A and B are shown apart, each in its own frame.
Chain A
């Protein structure tokens, strides 16, 4: 029997399948679209092809109660904290950049959530910001990271409002700025918004779909705070944390020690 953890987010529904030893044996992310139930079914159907799932499944995220199978739901922040603490059992700060939210979480060495903040009601600094800009530019956001790496120029966008940022980008295009410079500027803008959440005091762990798909944002941030780590599956940490929490909302962690490797941010521009 395997435990399934699902993080039903605004952009993607992420699922992990965990064995009795606490190892992630499968993971998948599908577009949430407008139907949380369909997205969660797609994830669970995929897991069921090769494995028997134990019910209830464990869920978190905006759609945490939008499932057609028995579930136990958790706060995504508590789940995220449980997973990050399991991988890095030390005092640390987390920045999670998702489709709709950017979150900052401060953990003690025992995994207690000492403080947390979420972005204000504003798309800037989230995946929605990147997707809107990609849409307006007629580009595929999955090409952004490779494109930004072709630039060495630090263009700064002054606007954090998505609409104003697009207007500013149109001005840059008119002035002949190459697209790699502009995309790098967009990444700078997101890194800057992360700075507003809190002043890091400890090792900083980046999680969420945006650091997963746009790791250069983390690299740009590491210029300001070099003590950064990124887990192997940054987008799946909250889903994994649900499994760690199990059916106990108080946060009991009922599975064995996992083996999640970490990666350090790549950076071609500085010594980190």
Chain B
């Protein structure tokens, strides 16, 4: 049964994270208010480096939607969007974000925003899902601005040269439309610089996550879900690079000093799927009380674009953003997860089946059973959602998680 009164040792870098994210939102706000500057909205695994290279400030609606989820207000906003003809079964990032907009509210109010930063253009990549296009199209229609994007093949087994050529051309074909509203014309050297910055930040982010291979782990999935902010919204900038250098240093110190993120770590778990943003801290406390550290996740590992190469910026962008886990076939996903199980010495896997995010719910086609047959690592399926708290049963989930950890205890 859970230990009571167990505190979680917060990373000191949290203060710096708040400052870095606050400065980012201030830049976006000032750009949206300054007629001389331009704001592009970008999907979370979209072509951020290209947009930064052309002088845009870049805003990420998925980051905004996760903030709505964390504020526990998504369930208030989703019905508003549903009344406008969107199904409650589609992406709750989309439905909660548009619902907040229609309600006239945003979690960015604490950064001085009165509404969303007005976009000059919206740019997506369907590598994660089609919803980003539908989502962005709503705002493109509202603001009467262009929406353009890259259409990536799905369920990819092997990434062929033809595929890279096809996607690389799509990256290039964005440029003429971007130049119509960008502050700067496209310049290959500036693009190379941004690609190099993004690559280096991704390598650091990977190294941050890999510190969790140490036993005891210096960070949890729940920490990483917060500290991933800069790699989502600032990759391609020096800000992300500087932040992850500092975070890595703190984690290295923790490792050297034997400081555990979960004091008394006994069980090392893998999280497959999205976070439950509205339960992030509750989940962190629950696992901590069970001496269980969620040390690795598919989700946080998805922002490692270390294939980016300034010598070959377009093709390497195509490769990096197609090699992404969510784009791949189940066979590739199985390999990725089983590698993580080994590298992080995982005792059990939790599959979060997010009701409104089928692409990020990898327990729906039998993958969980195939991985268990291959590795004998036990798993738990948890029904919930990224933002829609109505799809989550707290009591049932707590019983399931406690039982799962008990199951692991009996196994040890």
Chain B associates with chain A: yes
Contact yes or no, A78 B403, CB < 8 A:
yes
The smallest C-beta distance from B295 to any residue of chain A, in angstroms, reads: 22
Contact yes or no, B399 A112, CB < 8 A:
no
- B395 touches A (CB below 8 Å): yes
Cβ of A207: which chain B residues have Cβ within 8 Å of it? none
Contact yes or no, B407 A249, CB < 8 A:
no
Contact yes or no, B383 A121, CB < 8 A:
yes
Q: Which of A111-147 contact B (CB under 8 A)?
A: 112-118, 120-121
The smallest C-beta distance from A258 to any residue of chain B, in angstroms, reads: 21
The smallest C-beta distance from B364 to any residue of chain A, in angstroms, reads: 12
Task: Write the chain B residue with the least CB distance to A80.
Answer: B403
- B391 touches A (CB below 8 Å): yes
The smallest C-beta distance from A137 to any residue of chain B, in angstroms, reads: 27
The smallest C-beta distance from A37 to any residue of chain B, in angstroms, reads: 17
Task: Write the chain A residue with the least CB distance to B408.
Answer: A113
Of the four ranges (under 10, 10 to 19, 20 to 34, 35 or more), the interface on chain A belongs to: 20 to 34
Cβ of A101: which chain B residues have Cβ within 8 Å of it? 396
Contact yes or no, A77 B1, CB < 8 A:
no
Contact yes or no, B391 A121, CB < 8 A:
yes
Cβ of A249: which chain B residues have Cβ within 8 Å of it? 1, 406, 409
- B393 touches A (CB below 8 Å): yes
Most buried by B among A76, A114, A251: A114
- B105 touches A (CB below 8 Å): no
Q: Which of A76-133 contact B (CB under 8 A)?
A: 76-78, 100-101, 112-118, 120-121
Contact yes or no, B383 A120, CB < 8 A:
yes
Contact yes or no, A75 B378, CB < 8 A:
no
Bound-state CA distance A219–B72 (Å) is 45
Contact yes or no, A75 B381, CB < 8 A:
no
- B410 touches A (CB below 8 Å): yes
Contact yes or no, B410 A121, CB < 8 A:
no
Bound-state CA distance A249–B400 (Å) is 15
Knowing A77-B403, A78-B403, the reply to whether A118 touches B410 (Cβ < 8 A) is no
Which applies to chain B's interface (DSSP): helix, strand, loop or mixed? helix
The smallest C-beta distance from B180 to any residue of chain A, in angstroms, reads: 47
Q: Which of B354-412 contact A (CB under 8 A)?
A: 372, 378, 381, 383, 391-393, 395-396, 399-400, 402-404, 406-407, 409-411
Contact yes or no, A77 B410, CB < 8 A:
no
Bound-state CA distance A114–B380 (Å) is 11
Contact yes or no, A75 B402, CB < 8 A:
yes
Bound-state CA distance A72–B2 (Å) is 11
Cβ of B1: which chain A residues have Cβ within 8 Å of it? 72-74, 249
Task: Write the chain B residue with the least CB distance to A62.
Answer: B395
Contact yes or no, A113 B392, CB < 8 A:
no
Contact yes or no, B392 A76, CB < 8 A:
no
Knowing A62-B395, A73-B1, A74-B1, the reply to whether A113 touches B407 (Cβ < 8 A) is yes
Cβ of A176: which chain B residues have Cβ within 8 Å of it? none
Cβ of A251: which chain B residues have Cβ within 8 Å of it? 406, 409-410
Bound-state CA distance A142–B270 (Å) is 45
Contact yes or no, A76 B383, CB < 8 A:
no
Write out, one digit per residue, whether chain A residues 28-42 have a CB within 8 A of any chain B CB (1) or not (0).
000000000000000
Bound-state CA distance A112–B393 (Å) is 26
Contact yes or no, A121 B396, CB < 8 A:
yes
Contact yes or no, B411 A112, CB < 8 A:
yes
Bound-state CA distance A121–B353 (Å) is 11
The smallest C-beta distance from A162 to any residue of chain B, in angstroms, reads: 15
Bound-state CA distance A113–B404 (Å) is 9
Contact yes or no, B392 A121, CB < 8 A:
yes
Cβ of A76: which chain B residues have Cβ within 8 Å of it? 399, 403
Known contacts A118-B396, A121-B393; 12 further A-B pairs (Cβ under 8 A): A62-B395, A62-B399, A74-B1, A76-B399, A76-B403, A77-B403, A78-B406, A112-B410, A113-B407, A249-B406, A249-B409, A251-B409
22 A-B pairs within 8 Å (CB atoms) are namely A75-B403, A75-B406, A77-B399, A78-B406, A101-B396, A112-B410, A113-B406, A113-B407, A115-B378, A116-B400, A116-B403, A116-B404, A118-B396, A118-B399, A118-B400, A120-B383, A121-B383, A121-B396, A249-B406, A250-B410, A251-B406, A251-B410
Ranked 5 nearest A-B pairs via Cβ: A75-B403, A77-B403, A113-B407, A78-B406, A121-B393
